[in-house]
Amino acid sequence: MRSFLAGVGTALPERVVTNAELETELGGSAGWVRDLLGIEERRAAAPGELGYHLGARAARVALADAGVEPAEVDLLIYHTNFADYSIPGSGVLVQRELGLRAGIPALDLRQQCAGFLYAWMAADAYLATETFRCALVVCGERLFANCLMYAPVAPIFGDAGAAVVLQGTTEDRGLLDVRAYTDGAGVEFGLVSSDHYDVLDPSRQVPREMVRAVEDWRRAPLRKRVAQRWDGSVIYKNAVARMSQATREILDAHGLKVGDVDWYLFHQANKGIVERVGHLLKLPADRVLTNLGPYGNTSSASIPLLLADARRRDQLRPGQLLLMCAFAVGYVWATALYRV
């Protein structure tokens, strides 16, 4: 039993934030964000528009696309980077918002930019048991405001919701393989403290992974007493190395060459990472899908956004082979092969 993509949906906030707005605030020459990151603009959630609102909106579109009623969903997996509340997890809020049946499992995952593939892996395993027939994977990312205060990543992130409906099949299609990896050695290079952690509390001992982030805050206080640290050069090198290796491994495991894949869908972190991975693997550039320009880095929502855009442009045809790969701070990364 394999899981197949029965429906895809996305939701974007109305507000568009252009590079010019950020370049004025952050300084630097005009056009540097586009030239360095490949991002033209990004979306920003409205006041009071939470991550689970975006995720639920996307889920409604995905359900309609699949022709599935909310009552048919028997498993919900929700992913976000910034939880709307410390307690409870947002999965139950999405369940309530959509009017899904009371009593179904609603799981929350926190796997950063690799969250979509981790969630799909979990849903695939549940569907394989045949205890569940229809899974809804939802990503609700409200990143812009949370990262805007930290200048090194302020231009990178955008807000978005994305969702997929997954069902089981015995046909020769669907998720052929998914592989997930973790290496906690990277924790300190991409880290945001919890809202309830006071970085200035003299009575609290700073955990070793937060030492640099707290030092950064003390040198340049943010608008909130929340510590952030993003070491772009270290993250870049690891993202390129891990994504390239994972892509090679899954291709080799299935006896495939790079030309056997119809479309490559890499997490949209920045154009440098996507282009470097493509160069190292010698991928045909016209088979690597991108959408950094209009959305920026939407974390776990980026690959389902790519899927939705490709479907809308009628690029996905039965029998095609897709390779998806994402890397996240932590470090966490994953790769998957999918037959349309």
Tell me the catalytic residues.
113, 267, 297
Cβ–Cβ < 8 Å for 116, 327: no
Distance, CA of 220 to CA of 226 (rounded, Å): 12
| Size of the chain in residues | 340
Question: Residue 192 is inside which H or E element, if any?
Answer: strand 190-192
| 297 DSSP 8-state letter | B
Rounded-to-10 torsion of CA 57, 62, 68, 74: -80
Secondary structure (3-state) at 88: coil
Distance, CA of 85 to CA of 191 (rounded, Å): 18
Cβ–Cβ < 8 Å for 138, 129: no
Residue type, 112: Q
All residues at 6 or more sequence positions from 13 whose CB lies less than 8 Å from its CB, including other chains = 43, 44, 45, 46, 49, 54, 159, 160
Cβ–Cβ < 8 Å for 10, 161: yes
Q: To which residue do tokens 């945001």 refer?
A: 192
